[in-house]
Structure 1
Amino acid sequence: MPLDAYEVLGVSRDADQSEIQRAYRRLARKLHPDVNKDPGAEDRFKDLSAAYDVLSDPEQRKRYDAFGENFRRVGADVDPDAYRRERAYAGAGAAGRRSGGWGGDGAGGFNYSGAGDDIDLDDLLGGIFGARGRGRSGWGPVSGSDHETEVNLTVEEAFAGTRRTLSLRDSDGPRTIDVVIPAGVVDGQRIRLRAQGGQGTGGGPAGDLYLVVHIEPHPRYRLEGRDLHVVLPISPWEAALGSSVPVETPGGRATVKVPAGTSSHRRLRLKGRGLPNKGGMPGNLFAETQIKVPPSPSAEERELFEELRKVSTFDPRSSS
């Protein structure tokens, strides 16, 4: 007897997605092999996962509602009403064989008299209905669910790329996989690892694993997409006279030109020195100037600053 996805999850056929998700989570906690040591729990958990895979996907659920357990084998152009009529016709034929009303011998498929040969209706319509080859789950091969996990990176790792060994847990128990994080990933980016998600049932393929990138806050750099922002401390004389100033970047030390007359909070761009972008434009690095004065000026420095105060007519509070 084929399993019914709604019965497995214990929800009504008009249940919304939130009800389906709540039912799955409740039963998964109860039936997971790591928690439930009952000999039949693992099979029930696999049935539960297969049912959830079907009903949690709106498109798959729509086809399941229309075609039942054979929904994966019914062609995309098959009309649901025509499908049901054919199934009803096939069911009537089976009843006829049992009562003798169809003139069959009751030994097998629908007995079509007139062509001289017995034709099995299941063979005749197998390309549409796919009555054979159902997996243990009851509704044919079901793809495994997609999984998602977060990967925390530093700015330097996002810039250069890195490797991670991930510890995962699924219905088959714990496992580890080695993954390569490419250079230039950005915060929130999803990296797809094919066939590394949940295992399929009934011969179905495994789902995918998605790595969601989270770039941790950095004491020096601030990220906006692929652009990097960094504070660039400069001296009063570098700001007034102009200078070439070194700045640290994730790719190494660079030099930025500070124009004469620069004030604090001026943004200086280093083109292409942000996060790389394979096949696209890399980000930029923006150095924001911050004028700093000596915290404990020497006697000579104080003298020079006093002289500057005497001769300078500059008023930083003037609106001009």
Structure 2
Amino acid sequence: MEFKDYYKVLGVEPGADDKAIKTAYRKLARKYHPDVSQEAGAEHQFKEVAEAYEVLKNAEKRAEYEELRRHAKHGRPFEAPPGWRPSGGGFADQGGAGPEYSDFFESMFGSAGRSRGPQGSSRSRGRRGQDVEMELPVYLEETLAAEAKKVAFQLPQQGADGRPLPAINKTLNVKIPAGVSDGERIRLKGQGAPGMGGGPNGDLYLIIRLVPHPLFDVEGHNLIITVPLAPWEAALGTKVAVPTLKGKIMLTIAPNSQSGQRLRIKGKGLVNKLGEHGDLYALYKIVMPGRCDEQTQPLWEQLAEKAAFDPRSEWSTRGSNL
């Protein structure tokens, strides 16, 4: 389960007073209200803001939240402190018509005064299932694929008495989101371990691990491929078939190209979260033949004599300035 930083949601400091919290809430509620906002994801943002205000506007619940906040560990799935129980008051009965709250809110505060039946009697919410986290190897080609990736994993489960039961084997078809990066966490709600006593399932968290590619290096959403060139190809120019993640393209190598030179190939990189493609950079690397036989040796000697080229001429020029 992910810890919710309600102060960050409202854009206030942890020490903010009630007035500052209320002012921030009203401003953001107007900004993201689904009836008037044109911003992407406005409905989700509105729910986040409403949830944060629901907790921070109440002194008793805010104190409980501070206790949870002190217990939270950055970068790890959140678990409540041992023996955690909310006070049971402070939230009005929503009658099932309120906003959809996050799993964090429901687990930490949800049963505190909101889960009432028609006669006001408490309903048993059961126990929420365990969150499961696993690493998911992803090939660079899969980040551009339209097809879903099949993911097989195991879910822990417990009996009513708390004793562990055999793990559940499960398979999902997961669409890799555009713009994923190495180490990114993807939450699949309700795909974790099953709940007990009618409680909801936990969540599945996938940690993306981009598999190193034999040809491409990753630089943000750009790709770099090293293009080996023979000395005569670099000197005279040529055309080279260069691999991309979606087939090959013909690249024109200009005469007198240099080792270490980079050529940008627009739109042949990875996709970012906006659906825009990065670029592919071809990095030239001049490669000498592995051996020189009796026929080619004289040709190299003639080239050396006629070219009269000193690749280290700058050394003497710069050395004279020392």
TM over 0.5: yes
- Alignment correspondent of 2:176: 182
1:17 is aligned with what amino acid?
A: H
Alignment of 1:54-69 (within 5 A): 55=81, 65=86, 67-68=87-88
- Alignment correspondent of 1:167: 153
1:255 maps to which of 226, 233, 250: 250
- Alignment correspondent of 1:313: 308
2:132 is aligned with what amino acid?
A: H
Aligned residues of 1:183 and 1:276 also touching (Cα < 8 A): no
Alignment of 1:148-163 (within 5 A): 148-160=133-145, 163=149
- Alignment correspondent of 1:17: 71
Instruction: Show CA shifts across 1:24-44 (max 9, x none).
Output: xxxxxxxxxxxxxxxxxxxxx
Alignment of 1:29-40 (within 5 A): none
Alignment of 1:197-276 (within 5 A): 197-201=192-196, 203-276=198-271
- Alignment correspondent of 1:191: 186
CA distance in 2, matches of 1:280, 1:252: 20
CA distance in 2, matches of 1:165, 1:128: 35
Aligned residues: 216
Give the structure-2-normalised TM-score.
0.56
CA distance in 2, matches of 1:256, 1:211: 38
CA distance in 1, matches of 2:190, 2:265: 41
Closer, same or farther: CA 249–239 of 1 in aligned 2, 3 Å: same
Closer, same or farther: CA 293–54 of 1 in aligned 2, 3 Å: closer
Q: Name the structure where helix makes up a greater proportion of residues.
A: 1
Q: What's the RMSD between the two structures over aligned residues?
A: 3.6
After TM superposition, give the deviation of residue 251 of structure 1 in Å. 1.3
Closer, same or farther: CA 129–176 of 1 in aligned 2, 3 Å: closer
Gaps (5+ residues) in structure 1? Answer: 1-12, 20-51, 77-125
After TM superposition, give the deviation of residue 145 of structure 1 in Å. 4.5
Give the structure-1-normalised TM-score.
0.56
After TM superposition, give the deviation of residue 164 of structure 1 in Å. 2.4
Say which SS state the counterpart of residue 171 (structure 1) adopts. Answer: strand
Over the matched positions of the two proteins, sequence identity in percent amounts to 34
Between structure 1 and structure 2, the one with the greater Rg is 1
After TM superposition, give the deviation of residue 235 of structure 1 in Å. 1.0
Aligned residues of 2:190 and 2:200 also touching (Cα < 8 A): yes
After TM superposition, give the deviation of residue 305 of structure 1 in Å. 1.8
- Alignment correspondent of 1:280: 275
After TM superposition, give the deviation of residue 300 of structure 1 in Å. 3.9
CA distance in 2, matches of 1:177, 1:146: 16
Instruction: Show CA shifts across 1:177-209 (max 9, x none).
Output: 222243754322333322102334554432321
- Alignment correspondent of 1:112: none
